[in-house]
Amino acid sequence: MKKSVAIIGAGITGLTAAFYLKRAGVPVTVYEASERVGGVIQSLRQDGYLAEFGPNTLLETSPKIGQLVRDAGLTARRLDPDPKAEARYVVRYGRPIAMPGSPLGFFFTKLFTAKAKLAVLREPFIQPRRDGVEESIAQFVVRRFNQEFLDHAIDALVAGIYAGNPYKLSLTHAFPKLKALEDNYGSMIKGQILGARDRKKSGEVAKDRAPKFSFDEGLQVLPDTLAANLGDALKLNAAVTRLAQTGDGWRATTASGEVEHRVVIYCGTAYRLAELQIAALKPVDLAAFAEIRYPPVASVILGFRREDVAHRCSGFGMLIPRVEGFKVLGTIFSSALFPNRAPAGYLTLTSYVGGERQPELASLPPEKLFSLVCEDLRVLLGVRGHPTFAHSVFWPRAIPQYNVGYGRYRDLMTEIETKAPGLFFAGHARDGVSLSDSIVSGSNVAERVEKALAAPVPYRRVQTGS
């Protein structure tokens, strides 16, 4: 069996792990259930438009992101956004208002009332909570700022990242950096200012300041390149349905048969993990992973003639809080960010519908989705006429919700790794839901596995009866 590694899932986590293990000389096999690589990354080039149905940008929050781009030989294909497209809008009073770009700008913005501005000034003087109780992001924001700040800013942000519900998402698990600011500096505002030096030392960059980028032909370029490097080691249409622990490794079952590996890395979704049959030497129960909620989301990509859109759409995009009563969660001004996303004289707008806010809308037929999104864009951006390009993708289970109590699932993964040596977990259900989190997760798990392979085999040869 030598030291072969089975990687389950050819999303960006699995592909990153496979890339680094292969580079280190470790034989890998990547099993992917579907007929394509990239997982939720999905770019479509058609009629001069480029549509991203999954993630739109990659945030360079860690040096490992740029490293992967360089190691994969993709530096020349990296596409940085138009520097003019920095503005972010949040909808208030039924129209998009630019978010303030500086502390001074905050005091003049129309986005918040004087009361909310005062709450921000007061925040450094609010005692940090030290009783260890796990809060939702909503409880945290109301405690440190006020209800208005939650309803008109954080709710929109939460919709943009998780398509989630702020009253359910855990501060500890979904927003660990905010929690760390309070824990380490006693205040968000103080932490923002004083923490800059510590972040610089660690090489980590805060999400709101991290450079974002894509590739000339969209994010799909990254998984496609990593997959090409794998050659025959990539097995598509190869769902792993069963894992059996042998004396010195694991037997993985797919529809084509059984293969023995020394190590298995699970890089798939939590709901498919719950369906995996596992015969380990010590009893391991994966059923709890079925409880993790992934709300449905529809990505709706529309192209318009430039003259049919009144708003300049010259920023990153707009976020829409629930209290504003629209159906769209948020819209990215895709061709303002990356001009090659639309033909000259046209623009591309990428909108999201559904999530925890209105899950029932995500599964509407495409024609209904197009008209519902067009109606919101008409009011918010002054869009007229029919779209010149219209595509949507329905994600029945889009993004895992790191709700209060999520630590249970992370602890369970750690416990299973200890109980069943040679089985590793990585990816969005464990290490954070952004693309950059998944790359860091894939790169870290490759390092962990390399170390494990270098150590002597700690287990006896025992048959599991399979």
Ligand X SMILES: Cc1cc2nc3c(=O)[nH]c(=O)nc-3n(C[C@H](O)[C@H](O)[C@H](O)COP(=O)(O)OP(=O)(O)OC[C@H]3O[C@@H](n4cnc5c(N)ncnc54)[C@H](O)[C@@H]3O)c2cc1C
Nearer to ligand X by Cβ, of 401 and 436: the residue is: 436
Nearer to ligand X by Cβ, of 149 and 394: the residue is: 394
230 binds ligand X (CB under 6 A): no
CA dihedral (419, 423, 428, 429) positive or negative: negative
92 binds ligand X (CB under 6 A): no
389 binds ligand X (CB under 6 A): no
At closest approach, how far in Å is the CB of 146 from ligand X? 29
The rounded distance, in Å, linking the Cα atoms of 220 and 223 is 6
Q: How far is CA 272 from the centre of its chain?
A: 18
Task: Say how many C-beta atoms besides its own lie within 10 A of residue 422's C-beta.
Answer: 25
To which H or E segment does residue 376 belong?
A: helix 366-381
Nearer to ligand X by Cβ, of 139 and 358: the residue is: 358
216: which residues sit within 8 A by CB, 6+ positions away?
Answer: 77, 79, 340
Query: Which range in 9-17, 64-72, 128-136, 192-200 contacts ligand X by CB under 6 A?
Result: 9-17
- SS3 call for 58: strand
Of the candidates 90, 428, 444, 449, which one interacts with ligand X according to CB under 6 A?
Answer: 428
At closest approach, how far in Å is the CB of 194 from ligand X? 27
To which H or E segment does residue 452 belong?
A: helix 435-454
Of the candidates 57, 136, 165, 388, which one interacts with ligand X according to CB under 6 A?
Answer: 57
Nearer to ligand X by Cβ, of 95 and 410: the residue is: 410
Total residues contacting ligand X by CB under 6 A comes to: 38
Instruction: Annotate 182-221 with DSSP letters as a single string.
Output: HHHHSSHHHHHHHHHHHHHHHT---TTTS-EEEETT-TTH
At closest approach, how far in Å is the CB of 307 from ligand X? 28
55 binds ligand X (CB under 6 A): yes
Nearer to ligand X by Cβ, of 116 and 369: the residue is: 369
Q: Which amino acid is at 121?
A: L
Query: Which range in 50-58, 183-191, 368-376, 412-420 contacts ligand X by CB under 6 A?
Result: 50-58
Of the candidates 399, 420, 423, 453, which one interacts with ligand X according to CB under 6 A?
Answer: 399
436 binds ligand X (CB under 6 A): yes
Inter-residue contact 409 to 383 (CB < 8 Å): no
210 binds ligand X (CB under 6 A): no
Of the candidates 434, 440, 445, 452, which one interacts with ligand X according to CB under 6 A?
Answer: 434
In the numeric block, which tokens belong to residue 296?
């449905």
The rounded distance, in Å, linking the Cα atoms of 452 and 417 is 12
To which H or E segment does residue 30 belong?
A: strand 28-31
Q: In the 8-state DSSP scheme, what is residue 152?
A: I
- SS3 call for 235: strand
Q: Which of residues 10-49 bind ligand X (CB under 6 A)?
A: 10-14, 31-34, 39-41
Nearer to ligand X by Cβ, of 20 and 112: the residue is: 20
268 binds ligand X (CB under 6 A): yes
Interface contacts to ligand X, rule CB under 6 A: 8-14, 31-34, 39-41, 54-57, 59, 239-240, 267-269, 272, 276, 297, 299, 395, 398-399, 427-428, 433-436, 438
